[in-house]
Chain A
Amino acid sequence: MSIGYTALTVFLSSCSAGLPVQEESKKTEHVLATKYSIVYVIHGDGDYIFHDTSGNEYNADDEALAGAKRVAQQNPYAEVFIFHQKPRRNFLFFFPLQDGEFYYYRNGQLIANELYWRDQKQSQLDPEVVLYHRFRTENQREMVSIFLYYGHEIPQFGGIGYDASYPDRAFTVHDFTIGLRGFTHHPKRFDLLVLSTCFGGTPYTIDAIGSFTRTIIASPDNLHLSYFDLHLLERLDLSLQDGDVPAFAKRFAHQAFKRLTRNIQTAVSIAVYDADRVKEFLYSVRRVYNYTLTTLKGETQEFLATIEHCDCADLPEYVLPTMNKGVDVFYRPARFGRSKNKQNHSGWECLNVKPQEATFSDH
């Protein structure tokens, strides 16, 4: 009887929000200075299975998490926040388990590891922001700050069903930017934001997140689930010794490109955006791109299922003299398929809404 009571008490306690799994004092004395602040958000609530060329199966989010932990452990001058967003799981079919796990490392040491509840309706990273502010060091404005998001394409509108196990929960680029606002220290922006998702390089997405960061790395086209290679982040005190973040971003993108092209037969595209220099192009195309999005927002699910992406350079209204300004692109076409001879990518991805499709929703 007493064993059963104890087990029940322990189980019920484990269901309460914000229960620390492991936590040390925030006020621990640190010998090493923290010069780098890295925030990872790893989305894992979806179909994230991929296979390598030997046929081995991987979960993309678990692989990304392992990489993030390696970065955290091997950076003696960094504080690293890792948020792993997990699928819904139940204990004994009925009792929901927490769907987020948080890790906080400082100077290579794990300081805290907590389970938490994510936002239940509109996902705007509120619980993640609260945890971030609970643990962050005070000198954020003097640190090099990097934000990384690993997951599926963040929808530009709609966003219902982004979490596979919570069909009512929504997440969009707009929600993402609200979350980003919570992580930044106005007027300071992130020095680098890495968007490791498919179709991250749309004019709307880059425009929206450009207010919160100086440099962006994203994949305009599809991105294989093995994601961007993280090795260059592992010793920032060596790889970012000169403090030149834009140059570091290009090296990071180049390394990720080299690794992806070694194993991937589909198209590989990685672009580095200078958030200030691309503003002129974004301003020029904002109206036409937003018009496309506004039109699509009113369309049926059936119609939206037919929309395809394309290089913005394939659409005349986007081909402007400023298109390449502030964008460095690493691109290799797919080795097979219709686009195998496409030699260049502008770094900007658009939605290809064909005029004849406009009448689709009327039927």
Chain B
Amino acid sequence: MQIRIAFGSIIMMFVLALPSNADGKGELQKYFNDTANKVKSTENASEKRKILSESFQSMSKALDKVQNSGLISKVDRIGIDRFKATLQEKRDELAGSNGYERVLDKDLNAFSDYVVQDMEQAAEMITISVVALLLILILVVLIV
């Protein structure tokens, strides 16, 4: 219990220290935009796949940690579930698993744009509170 309180306090310190205009969703979009920029900056298809895969993996880990932290509401947990499902679809498509056709090497730049745009649209649909979003962002930074 004390560990949980300590962890919560540290997280809250991070949250309070963040600039007031950091609304979470915008920062989350920046994360995927940075990934797309990295993908486009390399010519090597394997490298592009690795960048995308690691980006999805880091985000998934952060989502799992926040979901299991006990610091978020039930609505947030459902929002994170939907977010995770969206992310998993992208991972499956990149790898060509779970019934998806594998993204072709020549389409990886376009796929990285698709991820950015889909996440920008998903941000409107997926209900996650600002606090939960900030927790996700903090953990993504710690994980990467």
Interface centre among A153, A306, A337 (most CB of B within 10 A): A337
User: How many residues of B sit at the interface, in one of the four size bands?
Assistant: 20 to 34
Which residue of chain B lies nearest to A93 when distances are taken between CB atoms in the complex? B20
State the Cβ distance, B95 to closest chain A Cβ, in Å.
Answer: 13
16 sampled A-B residue pairs with Cβ under 8 A: A49-B25, A49-B120, A51-B36, A55-B34, A57-B33, A153-B124, A222-B121, A265-B113, A265-B118, A266-B117, A302-B75, A302-B78, A334-B114, A335-B107, A335-B114, A336-B93
Residues of B within 8 A of A51 (CB): 29, 33, 36, 116, 120
Given A49-B26, A334-B118, 6 additional A-B pairs, CB 8 A: A47-B25, A198-B124, A224-B117, A265-B110, A265-B117, A305-B127
Any B CB within 8 A of the CB of A225: yes
Any A CB within 8 A of the CB of B45: no
What CA separation (Å) do A359 and B75 show in the bound complex?
Answer: 17
Size of A's binding interface in residues, CB under 8 A: 26
Residues 125-141 of B at the A interface (beta carbon under 8 Å):
126-127
* Contacts known (A49-B26, A265-B117); A337 close to B93, Cβ less than 8 A: yes
What CA separation (Å) do A306 and B83 show in the bound complex?
Answer: 11
Contact assessment for B30 and A57 in the assembled complex, using a CB-CB cutoff below 8 Å: yes
Residues 24-61 of B at the A interface (beta carbon under 8 Å):
25-26, 29-30, 33-34, 36-37, 40
One of B26, B33, B74, B126 near A55 (C-beta < 8 A): B33
* B contacts, CB < 8 Å to A: 23, 25-26, 29-30, 33-34, 36-37, 40, 74-75, 78-79, 82, 89, 93, 103, 107, 110-111, 113-114, 116-118, 120-121, 123-124, 126-127
One of A53, A301, A337 near B89 (C-beta < 8 A): A337
Which residue of chain A lies nearest to B99 when distances are taken between CB atoms in the complex? A338
Interface centre among A164, A222, A336, A338 (most CB of B within 10 A): A336
Residues of B within 8 A of A338 (CB): 89
Contact assessment for B36 and A55 in the assembled complex, using a CB-CB cutoff below 8 Å: yes
* A contacts, CB < 8 Å to B: 47, 49-51, 53, 55, 57, 152-153, 164, 198, 222, 224-225, 264-266, 301-302, 305-306, 334-338
Residues of A within 8 A of B93 (CB): 336-337
Q: Identify whether the interface residues of A are mostly helix, strand, loop, or mixed.
A: loop
What CA separation (Å) do A337 and B121 show in the bound complex?
Answer: 14
Contact assessment for A224 and B120 in the assembled complex, using a CB-CB cutoff below 8 Å: yes
* Contacts known (A49-B26, A57-B33, A336-B103); A301 close to B75, Cβ less than 8 A: yes
Contact assessment for A53 and B114 in the assembled complex, using a CB-CB cutoff below 8 Å: no
State the Cβ distance, A172 to closest chain B Cβ, in Å.
Answer: 16
Which residue of chain A lies nearest to B25 when distances are taken between CB atoms in the complex? A47
What CA separation (Å) do A51 and B113 show in the bound complex?
Answer: 9
What CA separation (Å) do A152 and B25 show in the bound complex?
Answer: 14
What CA separation (Å) do A331 and B24 show in the bound complex?
Answer: 32
Residues of B within 8 A of A306 (CB): 78, 82
Contact assessment for B82 and A336 in the assembled complex, using a CB-CB cutoff below 8 Å: no
What CA separation (Å) do A153 and B34 show in the bound complex?
Answer: 27
Contact assessment for A337 and B120 in the assembled complex, using a CB-CB cutoff below 8 Å: no
State the Cβ distance, A152 to closest chain B Cβ, in Å.
Answer: 6
